[in-house]
């Protein structure tokens, strides 16, 4: 539900604007405000889950998400809808890191890889089928008030999920409470906000107006790193242990790989929706169905990949990224060269190839990135990993859409050239992720016969010397 709500609302924006009589800028904040709050909550919520218990955080965040979904659906004005969406985004951001942390805590070895495989299948499906689900809901509920059911549909699903979560998620012991690093929360939150705000405001000329915030964000994040190191030196509990990046095998490279991949992955959905709906006149449902092959391929391969990651390791990510590059490159060529009347059908095969590769990227990368993270830090580590991906998502969505419009203006409204250029740029971002994966794979091969990485279930004193591995 939380990932579906990132993309599903985009389909309903015209209905929402008509129903509430809002401006395009106000309607855009219904989408971007959710993504912004989602990104801000991830690391602090992950740390809270580590400290007070992941099951407790999971249930609380899920309950809040359901409540704010109902408030969003019932909102009588644009302002109240935006507030509800911000709160819904915070709840989603609090929920997300508990998933990976619970998998890290409750499973080990090959079972952990399979669990992340199912998790990745869910991510792949929910991210890619948002436009299809949104189109179906609008078709059933009608254009005028159909946008409200985009949010109301979360209520019955969420209630069932709450009951099942309360029954099925085991009670686990929380970590040491310690102190809450409020300074770290402020510095990291301010830095992430400064980076995300110009990107989520890109369609409202945010990059030109707010470019200076990137410098502010860099200063705040540098201050955050210094502050966290200071806490570590004083033997106090930081919000995010910086040693995850410097001393934990595979974490920094895995985070970089995931962020680079998401830059390409996230932006193609908006670009394809613009091409199919604005350029070719598809309905939202037809546009969503046109990209379904990617979702189906990704979901199927993610489950298989969860079983293979223990055997193949980082090689699986290399193979997956290679397929994504081939699939996206072929999609760009097909959409550029074929007759526009058959573009939706012609894109099925290359998008399926890209989807199959995509299922071998996020789940195995998450498994490999978190494999050496101590369980006591699983929440904050998972939150930091997803924060990078949220920033990558904002960069990809803003950058690829901007490139689409730029080529469209420069090519006398040639929709095919615009979509080909944007998807080609997405493939280039995936090439960067592939380069990181190849370097990490070769390093793993060199150290395969050595001491290996630290045991994530080992006592804290072992982690303190993790840099020796």
For the chain, the structural domain boundaries read 4-178+237-468, 179-236
Long-range pairs of 460-469 with CB within 8 A, sequence gap ≥ 24: 460/374, 460/376, 463/243, 463/247, 463/374, 466/243, 466/247, 466/248, 466/249, 466/372, 467/243, 467/246, 467/247, 469/249, 469/372
Q: Of 206 and 288, which is predicted with more confidence?
A: 288
pLDDT exceeds 70 at position 100: yes
Average pLDDT over residues 372-392: 78
Superfamily of structural domain 4-178+237-468: MFS general substrate transporter like domains (1.20.1250.20)
Question: What does the pLDDT read at residue 96?
Answer: 85
Question: What does the pLDDT read at residue 458?
Answer: 45
Separation of CA 251 from chain center: 17
pLDDT exceeds 50 at position 465: no
Question: What does the pLDDT read at residue 461?
Answer: 40
Kindly state the percentage of the chain with pLDDT values over 70: 90
* pLDDT-derived band at 318, boundaries 50, 70, 90: very high
Mean pLDDT for all residues in the chain: 82
Question: What does the pLDDT read at residue 179?
Answer: 64
pLDDT exceeds 80 at position 378: no
**CA 298 vs CA 11, 117, 204, 302, 303: distances in Å:** 22, 11, 33, 6, 9
Q: What is the DSSP letter of 64?
A: H
Sign of CA dihedral 258, 361, 46, 80: positive
pLDDT exceeds 80 at position 372: no
Nearest C-alpha neighbor of 437 from the set 309, 324, 316, 352: 316
* pLDDT-derived band at 203, boundaries 50, 70, 90: low
Question: What does the pLDDT read at residue 459?
Answer: 42
Least confident of 131-140, 387-396, 454-463: 454-463
pLDDT exceeds 90 at position 160: yes
Question: What does the pLDDT read at residue 128?
Answer: 65
Question: What does the pLDDT read at residue 175?
Answer: 59
Average pLDDT over residues 92-98: 89
pTM attached to this predicted model:
0.78
Q: Is 14 exposed, middle or buried (0-12, 13-18, 19+ CB in 10 A)?
A: middle
Report which listed range, 53-57, 101-105, 230-234, 435-439, is most confident: 435-439
pLDDT exceeds 90 at position 19: no
Q: Is 171 exposed, middle or buried (0-12, 13-18, 19+ CB in 10 A)?
A: exposed
The encoded tokens of residue 297 equal: 């391929």
Contact present, 260 and 325 (Cβ < 8 Å): no
């Amino acid at each position: 539900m939380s990932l579906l709500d990132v993309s599903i609302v985009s389909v309903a924006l015209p209905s929402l604007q008509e129903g509430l009589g809002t401006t395009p800028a106000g309607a855009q904040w219904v989408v971007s405000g959710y993504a912004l709050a989602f990104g801000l909550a991830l690391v602090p919520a992950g740390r809270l889950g580590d400290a007070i218990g992941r099951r407790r955080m999971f249930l609380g965040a899920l309950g809040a998400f359901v409540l704010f979904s109902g408030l969003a659906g019932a909102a009588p004005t644009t302002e109240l809808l935006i507030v509800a969406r911000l709160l819904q985004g915070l709840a989603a951001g609090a929920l997300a890191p508990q998933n990976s942390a619970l998998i890290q805590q409750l499973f080990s070895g090959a079972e952990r890889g399979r669990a992340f495989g199912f998790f990745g299948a869910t991510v792949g499906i929910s991210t890619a089928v948002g436009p299809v689900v949104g189109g179906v809901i609008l078709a059933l509920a009608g254009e005028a008030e159909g946008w409200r059911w985009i949010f109301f549909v979360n209520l019955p699903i969420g209630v069932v999920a709450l009951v099942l979560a309360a029954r099925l998620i085991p009670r686990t012991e929380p970590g040491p409470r310690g102190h809450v690093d409020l300074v770290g929360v402020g510095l990291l939150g301010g830095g992430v906000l400064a980076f995300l705000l110009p990107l989520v405001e890109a369609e409202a000329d945010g990059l030109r107006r707010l470019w200076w915030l990137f410098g502010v964000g860099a200063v705040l994040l540098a201050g955050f790193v210094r502050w966290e190191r200071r806490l570590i030196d004083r033997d106090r509990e930081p919000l995010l242990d910086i040693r995850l990046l410097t001393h934990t095998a595979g974490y920094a490279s895995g985070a970089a790989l995931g962020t680079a991949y998401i830059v390409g992955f996230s932006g193609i959905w908006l670009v394809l929706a613009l091409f199919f709906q604005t350029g070719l006149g598809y309905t939202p449902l037809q546009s969503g169905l046109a990209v379904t092959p990617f979702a189906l391929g990704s979901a199927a391969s993610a489950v298989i990949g969860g079983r293979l990651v223990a055997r193949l390791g980082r090689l699986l990510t290399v193979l997956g990224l290679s397929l994504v590059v081939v699939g996206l490159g072929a999609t760009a060529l097909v959409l550029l060269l074929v007759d526009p009347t058959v573009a939706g059908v012609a894109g099925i095969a290359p998008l399926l190839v890209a989807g199959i590769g995509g299922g071998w990227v996020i789940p195995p990368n998450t498994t490999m990135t978190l494999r050496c993270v101590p369980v006591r830090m699983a929440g904050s580590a998972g939150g930091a990993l997803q924060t990078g991906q949220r920033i990558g998502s904002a960069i990809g969505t803003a950058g690829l859409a901007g490139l689409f419009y730029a080529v469209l203006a420069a090519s006398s409204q040639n929709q095919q050239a615009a979509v080909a250029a944007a998807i080609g740029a997405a493939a280039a971002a995936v090439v960067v992720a592939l380069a990181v994966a190849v370097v990490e794979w070769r390093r793993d091969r060199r150290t395969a016969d050595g001491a290996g990485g630290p045991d994530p279930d080992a006592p804290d004193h072992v982690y303190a010397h993790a840099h020796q591995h």
